[in-house]
Structure 1
């Protein structure tokens, strides 16, 4: 559900794409004196932030003007506060990659995207902040659902009885993580080189035990045995590729906040027990709740408890 939630919320920018390639947008007004307009749980929202968000709404062809911009910023304040409370942090590298991907999808360079956003009265930083909140909010929603709607093994047994005693099965993967470390201050100069090195290692991959021997001859490479992970608990970033990879193969290499990484599938097996049943039923609950927009209900709950002061 994390990816679905993220995709749904990030897709709200799709209308922006049509305007980006048209050009001809008027220059952004100079920043006027800013004043606090709203306080959300002691977090201030200024008139300048509202002005910028209104410009962003216009790009997205979303009606409502200043009032809609204010409400959206209030919601984002609540989301970011919940992210901090749960310790959810979206790395700069993930945000930068999403920004770059959006530019590529619209046949723009990152510099061109930044320029168009600026001319429209928004900014690249504002867009990246928006991306960060949407990505983190998806994780917060999933964490909340798992916390409040968790299915116990006893409940799973009851469901199996209702289904005629049929016990669900899932696949359990034994995984290994390989990280080609890239320091933050060298990402622009070394990332592509490390990507090439990672892909070269993937071509040489034969088994997880042999990975350590290969890594010994490489610079700044970390190998981690992740142990056994059932399919419902796979990290969203890697889940689809892990499921589609066969035993003894790897995922594609990806840029991450640490550098360049890939996951090796050391082994896989089918498992079926009460704990597995609970996880499978939980995953089905998450999927069903995703169709009911649990993010909306969760946000309304946060809004009801918040101290929101409009000035």
Structure 2
């Protein structure tokens, strides 16, 4: 499910603005409890930190409006975190660091530069990472709860193409033209730090790992002993949905094996081909439209889920 992508895009735009600016915000010396959510406190410092971040893309709004928005978002976050704990969902520090580095990569800067840019606005990188962690946990929660209930029919897909005025793709979909490859993938990242990183040594580690890999089920255990390395499920991707560095290179990779290591801003990256199948070319069109419709339905279900949590929550404001 991709309903969290929009929040990621907004955050990236906000951080771009952050880098171009440079005003240094004053950090509060003291902090007080402002809200208690099901026994969990939200402090004035947390609200101020979130307000500085939200203020980057809430242009034209008053400081009071931004503070209220920050407070309400933190209340939502507390409910999401408590629900994730109840269900047993957690996100590791390694996953958060990888996601943080991914944001920096999209902005064409290093994680250290991103940390510095945040600090220039008076925002600690740990606050940004806490927000990331909450978003990632919530996405897992919503996906896990509603995956089986979201079904997109052919009629809905054709209707969506009609509304977009995309007659060409609609014709391809109806005629079922051509074929393409669909892969089920896992991504392996061996991080190379911007300062003092040894890319050649990491490349040798990647090649050794590639030689050992023989199936996706055991990939996590193979990568676990390596420092600063992570395995991420990419799920099912058609050829045109692959990351740029891997397009055109997976056709000859056997199932259960890793692709040739690629140097990227994050370090050394490979993908493991867990499954491969040939599908009709119209699937690419169908998949994109279906993802858009799933995102809309996912956002709706996410709001309903959060509203259900709010309805039974005990929220005490301290003014």
User: Which category of TM-score, normalised to the shorter sequence, fits these structures?
Assistant: 0.5 to 0.7
The CA distance in 1 between the partners of 2:103 and 2:189, in whole Å, is 25
What's the offset of the Cα at 1:79?
1.1
Change over 3 Å in CA distance of 1:48–1:264 after alignment to 2:
closer
Change over 3 Å in CA distance of 1:252–1:136 after alignment to 2:
farther
The CA distance in 1 between the partners of 2:99 and 2:206, in whole Å, is 22
For residue 304 of structure 2, what is the aligned residue in structure 1? 297
For residue 125 of structure 2, what is the aligned residue in structure 1? 124
For residue 162 of structure 1, what is the aligned residue in structure 2? none
Give 1:19's match in structure 2, choosing from 17, 21, 35: 17
For residue 258 of structure 2, what is the aligned residue in structure 1? 250
For residue 135 of structure 1, what is the aligned residue in structure 2? 136
Give 1:306's match in structure 2, choosing from 287, 307, 313: 313
For residue 41 of structure 2, what is the aligned residue in structure 1? 44
The CA distance in 2 between the partners of 1:16 and 1:65, in whole Å, is 14
For residue 161 of structure 1, what is the aligned residue in structure 2? none
Matches within 5 A, 1:72-83: 72-83=73-84
The CA distance in 2 between the partners of 1:87 and 1:120, in whole Å, is 34
The CA distance in 2 between the partners of 1:85 and 1:261, in whole Å, is 34
For residue 6 of structure 2, what is the aligned residue in structure 1? 8
Give the secondary structure class of the aligned counterpart of 2:222: strand
For residue 169 of structure 2, what is the aligned residue in structure 1? none
The CA distance in 2 between the partners of 1:142 and 1:305, in whole Å, is 22
Tell me if structure 1 keeps the 8 A contact 2:40–2:78. yes
The CA distance in 2 between the partners of 1:181 and 1:15, in whole Å, is 27
1:58-85 CA deviation, whole Å, 9 max, x = no partner?
1223642211110010011111112112
Q: Indicate the larger mover: 236-245 or 298-307.
A: 236-245
- The two structures have a TM-score, normalised by structure 1, of 0.63
For residue 157 of structure 1, what is the aligned residue in structure 2? none
Change over 3 Å in CA distance of 1:181–1:19 after alignment to 2:
closer
What is the Cα-based RMSD across aligned positions, in Å? 4.5
- The two structures have a TM-score, normalised by structure 2, of 0.62
What's the offset of the Cα at 1:300?
1.2
Unaligned regions of 5+ residues in structure 2, if any?
152-180, 225-231, 243-249, 263-267, 279-288
What's the offset of the Cα at 1:30?
3.4
